[in-house]
Structure 1
Amino acid sequence: MPVLATARSRAGATLLSAVTIATLGAAAPAAARPVTTDSVLAWYDTTAAAIAAGGAPTQITNNRTWAIAWLAAARAQAGVPSTTGRRAALAGAVHQTLVTLLPGQQTAADATLAAELAALPDRPPVRDAVTAGRAAAQRLIAERTGDGLDPASVNVAFPVPAGAPGIWQPTPPQFAPAAQYGNRLARPFVLRSADQFRPPAPPALDSARYAADLAEVRAYGSASSTVRTQAQTDTATFWLGSSLTLYTPILRAAVEQSPGSVLDRTRLVALFHVAAVDTQIATSDAKYAYQRWRPVTAILAGGDATWLPLHTTPAHPDYPSGHNTYSGSAERVLTSLVGPRARRPYTIGSPTAPDAERTYTDWRQPSLENVDARVWSGIHTRGADLAGIRLGGDVARYVVSHAPAVLN
């Protein structure tokens, strides 16, 4: 081994010992993890894996973990001039967040930390940057304590109103209790209030627009549809799963392709998830303000007693579509911070279509597919989907415009 490499290894081992002795558990060998020389992607993949393996059952809670980890990392890097120091601050912040909020995933987080610190020089500024990252994470975790984004608060019971035309009721086949009712009471990261961008009321039940929307769902979203094509069914199935799961590789593609600094790319991840959290808060505010019934309820009430959607209807009101608020938010953040098109095509998979992959060249096409997918699944009206895209875009635009205050 060259003398320089040996000295660097020894320095890394000294740094690792100096800054992690109190918090680093029995780390798995770094060689057991995917090898990358990109610190931002290393921590991105570690965060994604930790949440996938040990995250909460509520999506917004997992977005919150992402937001805290990466916002703390961005804040810790703000006064650090060197790339080495910024890498160290990133490591300290994300590691501290993961071992605090997802303690069951500490071994994996420790392994990434060990690999990262072994690659950094053993110097006081680097040790100080790791400590600053840890401190930023601890402050933000304390600041967000009691924000109403824990699973119990998210799914607080909703008093179902008496059945009436247009009013949400539990849907077949499970007739599950309403979900995500508590989001509307949670504390946003940036929004002044949950209703700041509440969309206009949905179309009246006797309007031509609503009649057209419902007719489209009845024809194309039925489990036994004779007009929905195989390609449309495939699109509905591909986009059926969690938005967080589906958009994690999309954001990763943007981060991987970005020519920006460690700080720029950290900020991209942070703002994406801050906007996602605030968007979901705004979504639940609108859903439960309007309490619009789902297409299956409307169609059954209209006399089609055997109609069922292609996919099971989620347990919350129709308007606006949550998948599409998430898409609208994601599209706006990525377009604002990296431009409307990817630097090169990117490919993603789907847990609900495990044999399928889709390739995109921009951030808009996933939004367009989400709008169609929820109609073809039979679980949303197109009007609810389009309102969702607008709401998510409005929230994200506001978050990005307030980035200096958020990131510092």
Structure 2
Amino acid sequence: MKSLKLVTLIVLGAIWLEGYAQSQENITLPLGGNAYSSLHQDSERTLSNRGIVNWSNPNEYFTAYFRVSKPGTISVSMGDKPLVEGKATVEFSIHNQPKKIDFDQSQAFEGKIGEWTVKDTGYVAIIIKGLSKSGAKFPSITSLIIGGSAIEGKTAYVKNNDGNFFHWGRRGPSVHLNYLQPENVNAEWYYNEVTVPKGEDILGSYFMANGFGEGYFGMQVNSPTERHILFSVWSPFNTDDPKSIPDSHKIKMLKKGENVHTGEFGNEGSGGQSYLNYMWKAGNTYKFLLHGIPGTDSTTTYTAYFFAPETNKWQLIASFTRPKTKTYLKRFHSFLENFSPVQGDLSRKVLFNNQWICDDKGVWTELKSARFTTDNTGMKGYRMDYQGGIDKGTFYLKNGGFFNDYTPPRKILNRTTAGKQPEIDFNKLP
């Protein structure tokens, strides 16, 4: 009798293990972290952490993404039971091969959507369209179950919302250039040129030119009618709440340029912030100049200048003093990020060229090499649409849009353009 029970347990265990192995070949694709609405900025009410909700507009559709590392078959099923009002027909398509699924509130839905074949590696897009409905809304969809031979290799997607990664994942990976600099240089000045190609000035983009150890300086696309030249310096007091910074650790503004707004910022460290509303243009090249000099009282003063070809002059953005700090400029870097989660399915690109630093003796040094890196979203393998390289001799960064060719993190890039030393009379700067 005991042997029969043992055999039964072994058989049941084998069946469970087989089922577990099969389930391991499937992935659950949460739409809250991997899908986008065709309406982008107007999609907040229909795409949440719970997936597709409150979907009533037949002109709105959704696209969910995941990346496969081998070709093969892909099967798609519904994850959680969809919430259905009356009857509805929804179309799911991959590679322009649609499958229509009928939903009926009065009948159970078995969950299966269909099977496709992908012939190459890279990102797969599942397009979800509402064709008809008898009720007020199309079905609410939380997640999809993806199976098939194509996902047996490494699959990239946002797995869950731990660490608020539905937010970070939908923003997409940030990408950076960390410029290699000579040792033992007291760098007082840091110069960079930035060009956003036409069509790449996507809403929610931050094209950061002059990053340094204690802050950053660059240009943003904030809305269809507003763009910022942004300069920020972090407080040495580690907090995300600027109101909690003691007076002894606060960033102090010394001066600011005409029409420049200044204040405090939080949520990613805290400190002093300044920005100029300026409608910079894609295709034009803008110049960024940063001055950093240590004082005699354990403070360092940082001053940012911006040169627009439309005005043909250097403009002061702001000058801040940082306490508890005595340093020249260091850790030179640039980055590209998308700060709008609803825009993470759109690609953007920026060119950085002619980087120079000038020391305390007035000697200029060109920076021609940089290490490419990505952020935690990329390093965790949640998103792999990150890229950096050389475009016609110039550094470039690219992210978002679910393109397939990615750059290995920590790759060293070497700019081949012949740099031109900046001709700037520091004494005539505003």
| TM superposition score normalised by structure 2 | 0.23
Bigger fraction of residues in helix:
1
Bigger fraction of residues in strand:
2
Larger relative contact order (C-alpha < 8 A, sep ≥ 6)?
1
Bigger Rg, which one? 2
